[in-house]
Structure 1
Amino acid sequence: MTMRFNIGKVTPHLYESLVALNTAIAEQGVDPRLIHLIKIRVSQINGCAFCVGMHVKEAIDDDVEQIHIDLLPVWREASAFNARDRAALSWAEALTLLAGTGVSDEDYALAHAELSEQELAALTVAIGTMNLWNRIGVGAQMPA
């Protein structure tokens, strides 16, 4: 598969803006482990091999346990995830798959029960940003 375009080269200002947004998200004080988990899970859902590979490596480098990375595709059935993990992952899936279904009050209530309003807002931006990166990665056919 040949890469279609390089976003950093053809639109460097847009690329730099996205990188700056990622930096701002990281500065919000949300548990980095949760950020790693949602980035990988959103990328799995969207089929972005480049992003899955990159974020798995980052998660490992930041000492996220391998069992959590391995079980992400089946997190609902896996006992390895705690209530906060489940809330963040459920919120990530609801926002990533919102076409046709929206985000239910139940989805919000589950997330809000485990995450502060600030964490939920920051995770929402992180999820939206990861979805954008995935669309760039898949659209540009970035190599894994």
Structure 2
Amino acid sequence: MNKRIDIEKISPKAYDAICGLENYLQSSSLPKIFFELIRIRASQINGCAFCINMHSSDALKLGETHQRIFLLSVWRETSLYTKEEQIILAMTEEITLINENGLSDETYILAKNVFNENEIAEIIMAIITINAWNRIGISTKMIV
């Protein structure tokens, strides 16, 4: 597989705009591992090997276990994830697969019971951001 264009070089202002979203998320009060779980799960759904590799490595550096990363695609079938993580993963799947039904009222209500509005906004922005990165990675054939 040959890499295609380098968007960072060809369109640096657009690339920097997405980096701005990443920088915004760094100031979040939510645990950093929440964002890595979002990034890995969305990347699994979208099939972005580059992002799965990067964010699995980043999660391990944060102390995440191999087992939880290996089982992330079947998170509903295990008790390894907290209630908060389960809600975040449900949001990730529903927003990533927005063409199916979008973020359901049921999942949104669960989120409102656990997270404040600012945290929900940050979770949604994290999901949107990794989906943008996945589309860049896949369409430009970024390689691991």
Superposition pairs of residues 19-38 of structure 1, within 5 angstroms: 19-38=19-38
Q: Shift of the alpha carbon at 1:142?
A: 0.5
Q: Distance in 1 between matches of 2:96 and 2:118?
A: 20
Superposition pairs of residues 51-62 of structure 1, within 5 angstroms: 51-62=51-62
Greater mean deviation of Cα atoms: 72-81 or 95-104:
95-104
Deviations 1:20-59 (A, max 9, x none): 2101111121211111101100000000000000101111
Paired position in structure 2 for 1:13: 13
Are the equivalent residues in 2 in contact too, given 1:44–1:52 (CA < 8 A)?
yes
Q: Distance in 1 between matches of 2:86 and 2:63?
A: 19
Paired position in structure 1 for 2:67: 67
Q: Distance in 1 between matches of 2:100 and 2:85?
A: 25
Deviations 1:83-105 (A, max 9, x none): 01101100111111110322221
Letter in 2 for 1:38: I
Q: Distance in 1 between matches of 2:25 and 2:120?
A: 12
Paired position in structure 2 for 1:136: 136
Provide the TM-score with structure 1 as the length reference.
0.95
Q: 1:118 to 1:59 in 2, by over 3 A?
A: same
Q: Distance in 1 between matches of 2:104 and 2:63?
A: 33
Letter in 1 for 2:46: N
Q: Shift of the alpha carbon at 1:118?
A: 1.4
Paired position in structure 2 for 1:95: 95
> Percent identity among equivalent residues?
38
Greater mean deviation of Cα atoms: 6-15 or 51-60:
6-15
- Give yes or no for the alignment of 1:118 onto 2:118: yes
Q: Which runs of 5+ in 2 are unaligned?
A: none
Aligned pair count reads: 144
Provide the TM-score with structure 2 as the length reference.
0.95
Question: Where has structure 1 moved over 3 Å in runs of 4 or more?
Answer: none
Superposition pairs of residues 33-48 of structure 1, within 5 angstroms: 33-48=33-48
